[in-house]
A and B are shown apart, each in its own frame.
Chain A
Amino acid sequence: MTLMHLSLTEQSVFVLAALVLLSSFALLAQTRLLSAVHAFAWQGALVAAVTALMASAGDEPHLYLSAALTLTLKALLIPWMLHRLIRRLALERHVETVRRPAVITLAGAAIVVFCYWVVLPIARLELAATRNILAISLSVVLLGLLMMVARRQAVSQVIGFMSMENGLFLAAAAATGGMPLVVELGVAFDVLVAAVLFGVFFLQIRDSIDSLDVDRLNRLTETDTTTVPGTEARP
């Protein structure tokens, strides 16, 4: 099977999915928070576009709803919330120093190869068209994870977390033709609540350590012998 044998819709789905993967790498390399939020919004929009394409290709009307949900949530609402928080926390000019950017990018590439290897047994089925999508969405999930590991800044970690969710949305929409509606709604609700809670946490973290550098959240360790955490008040 070559790419030319696929229908136009399938080809466009592949192109868009590849762009989603590209945006994951953009997120990984982006050190300015606002630009990272923008890249994240674009990723959400691309996932929504894939979902809409699948809806028109498979004639599944409930996927349109899911696409609209993804667009509102991932491309508009959550980026807007992050934007507002960044301005409220006065982090617009914040440039994060990423340690070993070359290693991280190479690790990202290795993750993509690994994901293609994981889905190899699935690719041997007759479902060749979906294997790319599965590999790409798994890569997006794991690249989000890598971003969370590589960054020390709470906002970047949240962006990594949300981009993992984008990978999952992509998998659900493109590989399976959309989950049942009740599940889609439930997942979207959870993501929304999580986004709100993250905002609450930014403020709590800043109040408690006066910074959003999560490396400084280091009071709870196994071998701590000097301070004992969490003491309850005496009556």
Chain B
Amino acid sequence: MIALLVAVFTPALGAALLAVLPNLTLAGWLNVALAATSVGGAVTLAVEILNSGALTAHGFHIDAFNIYLVVLTAFIGLTTAIFSRPYMSHVCQSGRVSRTHMRLYHAMFQGFMFTMLVALTTNNLGVLWVAVEGATLATVLLVSLYRTPEAVEAAWKYFILCGVGIAQALFGTVLVYFAAQHALPDPSAGLTWTTLHAHAAQLHPTVMSIAFVFLLVGYGTKVGLVPLHNWLPDAHSEGPTPMSAVLSGLLLNIGLYAIVRLKMLTDGALAQGTNPHLAGQLMMGFGLLSFVVAGLFLHRQRDIKRMFSYSSIEHMGLMTFAFGIGGPLATFGALLHMLVHSLTKSAIFVTVGHATHVAGTQAIDHIRGLIRTQPAVGWGLLIGVVAISGFPPFGVFTSEFLLLSATMQYWPWLTPILLTGLVIAFAGLFRHLQPMVYGAAPIEQRAVRANMLPVALHLGLVLWLGLAIPGFLSRWLDQATQLIAGSHLL
């Protein structure tokens, strides 16, 4: 319990502290220290949960599914904080961000971590909504941090579209509560996930299916599912790069996490009905559409950060599709994919941040010869993209292979679409990547100070997961699979 409080509330404390701390150098280090404390809490909590099973207390509920996301979130928060310290002080020195805004940045970074950890650990669907909305509110001012017309426009779009989307999710939540009023012995516990899950079969199926549609649209906006994805490339490309890394690597996961939790309830309610897989089929449809459309859009991008945000949409679509298929194999694959995608994508964004500093622009056409100018950044980008495209021996290959096998098992005729989509996305990434990393470097291009430690760490982990998933982790993911799909894979 103490570990839980440390993991979740350290960032809240940090947000308050960093908002008033005037010394920016100290703030950068403190940001790292707070993130590290949170990781410590999360890991301790994970060990407790793995040894003694799920923990439900004081409005929190931790089981194998969310604890792995808590550890992942805290870990990527830490590596991004390590990256952001020199990066943001560099941005501050170049005069693009004032000192007040730097304080805002640090405070909101921690505030964002706090809302995400609350969203993951809470047992209450209402608090989940509040936390997800809170994550939007914490990041919206960071997207417009540079105050350029583009940044302000991106932030406005982000705010409005996510606000509208999330309002639909609240309506869905109200409907779930409405259904619970007539099914639960204690109606006031009608938003408690564990209680709802225990009584899922009594929930009214029609109300639950209407509610799920609203919830899917609402949280789907956060995941960036097509056609609700418009805010995502703008917000990811205009904000500071550390924000892009956490938005792509973590925030999208939270939306998907919420959808999966609610799918578990809806499946329970619909189990006896005429169409028990309605929720899954909706997710498959949205997921596959996002996967294919984002893959096609990859080809048309001219901004490097926009390109990788479309790649995020593509992968989130794939995961949504996989969770929609259900069954142990697809669920295990989707959980693994969530893990490796977050690690790889945040590593890529960190590298992209350095690459844009080297080239002085985000335009793909003007980023050339990275390997020649700064080999670490060039190779980092190349290896990151190789990993995210699903080449062996990286972890993304393993998870995509599992997802393909699951598709062949349950929906064989969808396999060609999936394979084509993967090839299209691969081609889209590489046609832009090749001239950026090879190619002739402009003469005046100089190397910058780059901290590649987070990248090396993330890509190393992804490589490790591709070669051999350690026993404890596979058992862990298997426990989560059991929770979601109802049966073990291993």
Residues in chain A within 8 A of chain B (CB atoms): 118-119, 121-122, 125, 127, 130, 134, 137-138, 141, 145, 148, 154, 157, 161, 164-165, 167-168, 171-172, 175-177, 179-180, 182-183, 186-187, 189-190, 193-194, 197-198, 200-201, 204-205, 207-209, 214, 217-220, 222-225, 228-235
Contact = CB atoms under 8 A, between A and B. Distances in A.
A220 B361 CA distance: 16
B461 interface: no
B431 interface: no
B137 A222 contact: no
Contacts of A176: 174, 177-178, 181, 190
B235 to A, nearest CB: 10
Nearest to A122: B207
Nearest to A233: B94
B153 A190 contact: no
Contacts of B141: 197, 200
A168 B153 CA distance: 27
B237 A229 contact: yes
A194 B163 contact: yes
B38 to A, nearest CB: 21
Nearest to B300: A222
A225 B363 CA distance: 11
Contacts of A177: 181, 187
Contacts of B151: 230
Interface string B85-119: 00000110011100000000000000000000000
A147 B225 CA distance: 23
Contacts of A175: 174, 178
Nearest to A196: B137
B147 interface: yes
B144 interface: yes
A50 to B, nearest CB: 14
Interface stretch (B154-162, B263-271, B320-328, B479-487): B154-162
Nearest to A130: B178
A211 B483 CA distance: 52
A209 B153 CA distance: 10
Contact of B210 (A118, A127, A172): A118
B164 A231 contact: no
Nearest to B301: A222
A204 B130 contact: no
Interface residues of B, number: 69
Interface of B: 59, 90-91, 94-96, 124, 126-127, 129-130, 133-134, 137, 140-141, 144, 146-157, 159-160, 163-164, 167-168, 170-171, 174, 177-178, 181-182, 187-188, 190-191, 204, 206-207, 210, 234, 237-238, 241, 297, 300, 302-303, 305, 356-357, 360-363, 365-366, 446, 448
Most interface-central of B167, B181, B191, B204 (chain A CB within 10 A): B167
A232 to B, nearest CB: 4
A167 B187 CA distance: 22
Contacts of B366: 228
Nearest to A125: B204
Q: Which 3 A-B pairs have the closest CB atoms?
A: A183-B126, A234-B360, A186-B130
A48 B115 CA distance: 28
Contacts of B446: 235
Nearest to A232: B356
B160 A157 contact: yes
B171 A121 contact: no
Given A157-B160, A208-B152, A222-B297, A180 B210 contact: no
B467 to A, nearest CB: 35
A89 to B, nearest CB: 15
A39 to B, nearest CB: 19
B355 to A, nearest CB: 10
Contacts of B182: 125, 127
Nearest to B310: A222
Contacts of B129: 183, 186-187
Contacts of B177: 172, 176, 179
Nearest to B188: A180
Contact of B302 (A119, A225, A232): A225
A104 B206 CA distance: 31
Contact of B152 (A127, A141, A205, A234): A205
B160 A219 contact: no
B171 A179 contact: no
B164 A148 contact: yes
Contacts of A218: 153
A57 to B, nearest CB: 15
10 contacts: A157-B160, A161-B164, A182-B126, A189-B130, A193-B137, A201-B152, A204-B147, A207-B152, A208-B149, A232-B361
Contacts of B357: 232, 234-235
A2 B439 CA distance: 77
Nearest to A209: B149
A51 to B, nearest CB: 13
Contact of B90 (A172, A197, A198, A235): A235
Contacts of B146: 230
Nearest to A165: B167
A228 B178 CA distance: 48
B124 A183 contact: yes
Contact of A224 (B149, B181, B302): B302
Nearest to B132: A190
Given A141-B171, A219-B150, A230-B303, A180 B207 contact: no
Most interface-central of A118, A122, A222, A233 (chain B CB within 10 A): A233
Given A161-B167, A171-B174, A233-B360, 10 more contacts: A130-B178, A161-B163, A168-B167, A179-B177, A189-B130, A193-B134, A201-B159, A220-B150, A228-B362, A230-B303
A180 B149 contact: no
A173 B10 CA distance: 34
Contact of A231 (B95, B210, B241, B361): B361
B48 to A, nearest CB: 25
